[in-house]
Homo-oligomer: A and B are copies of this chain.
Amino acid sequence: MKHFVVGVDVGGTNVKLGVVDGRAQVLARSAFSTKEYIQSPSRLIMAISRAVIELCKVADIPRKDVQGVGIGLPGLVDVQAGVIRVLPNIPGWKDVPLKKVLEGKLGLPVQVENDVNMITLGEWQYGAGKGIQNLICMTLGTGVGAGLILNNDIYRGPGFAAGEIGHAPLNEDGPACGCGGYGCYERYVGNKTLQKWAAEVFDQKDVTLEEVSRRAMQGKKKALRFWQEVGEKVGVGLVGPVNILNPECIIIGGGVSRSFEFIAPAVRKVIARRAMRTQADMVKVIRARLDDDAGLIGAKVLIHHEKN
């Protein structure tokens, strides 16, 4: 019986793999450094292919029991054509027909997806968004992005580019963003900005956000105040998406979600104050539940979801 899916989560730093069973449990994992294979798409594809075969061996799962391989990548992914259009942080990837190439190498069905959408699929079906038909699944890290579940289906947009809440402007005259826009949400709550902000607040150049979280956990007021102010900014940027999409919930994942408990009250308060009545009353702000496994489990959803 084809019970298993192999999930592959390609990041700028690591490629993580996992075998996911019928109950969405990750049975076996592996990982390798992206950098060693970054010279060309074909080298990275070869490494992924080898790692999939290796992981199945280690997990003692025969190929005939593998339903498919789901791969999430950080960039613009044409899910229908199976083609990676561009990966901003991994050079050389331009219109790579990854689905076809990997299916040839592996002899297994392959689906490709944007990494944030793959996380969204996982959280929607097996995590914080279980049973919810309309949600925004947000990742708060170096990048600020989101996957959208609307009318009980993933909404990717006709160019597979939907969900870029990090590039909705908060201030039309705000700082320039790498995307070409001005005052993008990501410029206010992306990790780089938060780190600079923390360095100023604590007058300590190398303070990490993890350290600020530890201090908040110890009840240190300055750290608690810092996260509260971060939460306020996060909340301000959610008012637009909440008013436009009227979601039932916003799932917050990504690195900053480790400090979820410190930011959530402020996020909720700002939405309650600034968003429209119906939308504000309805939306719940919750923490992602699957953490680092969300993408791997999302691969299972992807394979079941796309039947081509």
Contact = CB atoms under 8 A, between A and B. Distances in A.
Closest 10 CB pairs of A and B: A157-B246, A168-B240, A161-B278, A162-B246, A164-B243, A161-B246, A167-B243, A159-B278, A181-B274, A159-B282
Contacts of A282: 158-159, 161
Interface stretch (A17-25, A32-40, A50-58, A169-177): A169-177
A197 to B, nearest CB: 16
Interface of A: 76, 85, 133-134, 146, 148, 150-151, 153, 155-165, 167-173, 179-182, 236, 239-241, 243-248, 273-279, 281-282
Nearest to A280: B180
Contacts of A245: 155, 157, 162, 244
Contacts of A244: 146, 148, 162-165, 168, 241, 244-245
A288 B151 CA distance: 25
A170 B277 CA distance: 19
Contacts of A281: 159
B169 A172 contact: no
How many copies of this chain sit in the oligomeric assembly?
A: 2
Given A171-B172, A279-B164, A247 B157 contact: yes
Contacts of A155: 150-151, 245
B169 A240 contact: yes
Contacts of A157: 134, 245-247, 279
Contact of A158 (B85, B181, B246): B246
Interface centre among A162, A163, A182, by most chain B C-beta atoms within 10 angstroms, is: A162
B276 A167 contact: yes
A276 B179 contact: yes
